[in-house]
Structure 1
Amino acid sequence: MYPSGHRRWPNEVKALVVADTLEPGATVNAVADRYGVQPNQLSSWRRLAKQGKLVLPAVAPDEPVFARLVVCDPAPAPPSCDRLPAAEQIRIVIGEVRLELAADMPAVRLAEIVRALGAAPC
């Protein structure tokens, strides 16, 4: 506390407190009470965040994030003995990586592969 009796909150802490108010079911009053802040002060910090004057921390999504799917004509592939016909395969291309999977692959396994590719460092 300062001699005036007022606390100074670092912007990083303000941002974390404001981010808590954005959680589903959270209320300004409940969050303010949890952190020992006056609700009107917390509302003021929320206004700063809306104006872009207080940067909130990035939140990792709890739900899957989907990328846009672009369908295009496949590039001609060199002949191969073990290659499935194009109509019987799923092709995933990410940069230099190309995966060709059987069209009857279970959706759960396909989702696991796509999730693993998305989690790989670039």
Structure 2
Amino acid sequence: MTTPEPTRRLSVFTGVAKRRNFTAEEKARIVAESFESGDSVCSVARRHGLMAAQLFAWRKNARLRGEVPNIGKRQTQPLGLEIQSVSANGEHPAAEAAPIEIAIGAMIVRVPQGFDAATLQAVLQALKAAA
């Protein structure tokens, strides 16, 4: 029979928890640290007494606002592929239709409406094999 590990951390909660408010500067500093430190998002969140989900939400909001610092390995690189599809009657799909965007890691594949499904499947399989 194995002996259980000793408790490493014990938290005692007394009373009602007070909601913490972070200033915009504090949030920006913590988000920047989560991108720059090389540590996992969870460890940065723990270091600042946050739930990881909260830090992930702050990071997402910063990305949507375009405030994410430039980090070389995290920048997206275009693949340099241009794929055109022609319908059965020889016409190109409507150019004004909004494309579907598929994010695969740091890659984004934009698929126009009416694109050939077999070709798309082949492209996605090639990308998966290359990753």
Check whether TM > 0.5: no
TM-score of the superposed pair, with normalisation by structure 2: 0.37
Higher Cα Rg, which structure: 1
